[in-house]
Chains A and B, each alone.
Chain A
């Protein structure tokens, strides 16, 4: 016979899973344009190359990825960096970086991907505001 305690646990589980379902629906369908950057076909090609070559095992985007190489979120717009700087590195095989053999079109696609990532926000977010309750208001791109 099922004890009352078990019935309560089953009830708790049902409630929790229901809230989880709604929460997931909200996350998956959240289409707030202020937080969205739609990748162009060229950038999507660049993203595919990024994954096929496992670039995030060394590099980060928004601080997510490996730590052997630098974060590349804003490498496109950073001072003294930019498209030519990125292209120069791609096939260089410098230090631990593998010796890639990207064609000019592939290099262009990767640069476009990094350009559009750059347009999505800032990392590190130097102009964020740290609040006394522990919260951080990050600066969004184009919010000035």
Chain B
């Protein structure tokens, strides 16, 4: 039975018997805001070293910040996928119950991870700092997601468009690389410092590539739906870039460790593979020029604007990534804030922008009269602040690189003091990003909360 129309502006003409997708999106948005708060607190500690040091020292704040932002990306991507599979007849999500178990499992693990950071109970490696045993329920959650996804798709949908491939491989590779990230627990790897470091960064680089598969798949899905043209996800060119991206996910991670004394062949492979990304860059320039008149037709759609902005960030970060994938450039940029600029550009500029496009697209579906004025204002503040933030990180990186290679003998503390004004700049611009995100996310959160609280959507379908 289809849900009846509601009178308060919420559209229930879409089939929504499973609201867990909205819970995912709401929790993801909260994680994003929390991640931003932790980021600002970290920035304050950069500027005022004693700031709340006794309550939340930097070794707790950083994992709080990083984990929250990763949680935002992953939960929002998963929530989007569940949503898109829940509203269509084909494919139709195999099990709503499994998706609920998956959500509550991740929620409990998230709370446990926060608690471990608050109590200073670490034990993992960078980006997965929580006690290692917590990876087991996380992996179980990914297996549930994978099982549900493949049961939904295999045998029921033929000739998948590229975004289904991307989601499918994203889930598999995420599970694989998260497991790989714990190979250091094996005694033979644990006591081999260089090999352990190399595998840690192999896994880390590749699980970022895996969530990129989920996020970029979402971008193509939303773009295809906005344009009403599914050929975007079906043409051979889309598949060519998908396989190129997958090749980079598998083999292109080693630019993170060019400077680590591993076997040279590992770095040769990464150098060669990374350079294939020039093809993506040239293609983007070519496509932009070609599609400009067409884009003006739908330029007023806010989710579309977010996707176009994500393209701009892809362009900027691809140039940066390509440059430091050249070992001679990487030699000077490695270990500096230029690397941070790249990760901020990709996680905020690309991933967050795409995911916000997806969330706004969904919110527009569940509430057709959703007021976009606040989101439009936030969009401007967010992008201007992010650009300035990104540039200030590049400046901090150049200063650090100069200190490392051209001012030998200057103490670290002196270099930090000289960079103080840059840290103030990135604190201010980081706060700007947070304000921009508040404008975008608060109305969205309100709509999601209203929809989740609205009885009926859930019950009518039963």
Contact = CB atoms under 8 A, between A and B. Distances in A.
Interface string A48-66: 0001111111101111111
A116 B259 CA distance: 17
A28 B199 contact: yes
B57 interface: yes
B247 to A, nearest CB: 7
B126 interface: yes
A88 interface: no
SS class, residues of chain B in contact with chain A: helix
B374 interface: no
Interface string B48-65: 011001000111111100
B335 interface: yes
A65 B336 CA distance: 10
A92 interface: no
Contact of B191 (A5, A6, A38, A128): A38
A95 interface: yes
A36 B159 contact: no
Interface string B202-233: 10000000000000000000000000000000
A105 interface: no
B263 A123 contact: no
A64 B204 CA distance: 12
Interface residues of B, number: 71
A70 B239 CA distance: 44
B243 A12 contact: yes
A105 B444 CA distance: 53
Given A20-B250, A67-B337, A140-B261, A5 B159 contact: yes
A39 B63 contact: no
Interface in B109-146: 120, 122-126, 129
A131 B269 CA distance: 17
A71 B336 CA distance: 10
A98 B405 CA distance: 29
B326 A134 contact: yes
Contacts of B191: 38-39, 44
A23 B327 CA distance: 21
B158 A6 contact: yes
Interface centre among A37, A57, A60, A136 (most CB of B within 10 A): A57
A81 B269 CA distance: 37
A6 to B, nearest CB: 5
A3 B193 contact: no
B400 interface: yes
Interface in A17-50: 20, 23, 27-28, 30, 32, 35-39, 44, 47
Contact of B126 (A9, A30, A65, A98): A65
Given A6-B158, A23-B250, A54-B129, A131 B328 contact: yes
B263 A32 contact: yes
9 contacts: A27-B198, A27-B266, A47-B190, A54-B62, A54-B63, A62-B257, A66-B58, A124-B405, A126-B405
Interface of A: 1-3, 5-6, 9, 12-13, 16, 20, 23, 27-28, 30, 32, 35-39, 44, 47, 51-58, 60-71, 95-96, 98, 116-117, 120-121, 123-126, 128, 130-131, 134-136, 138, 140-141
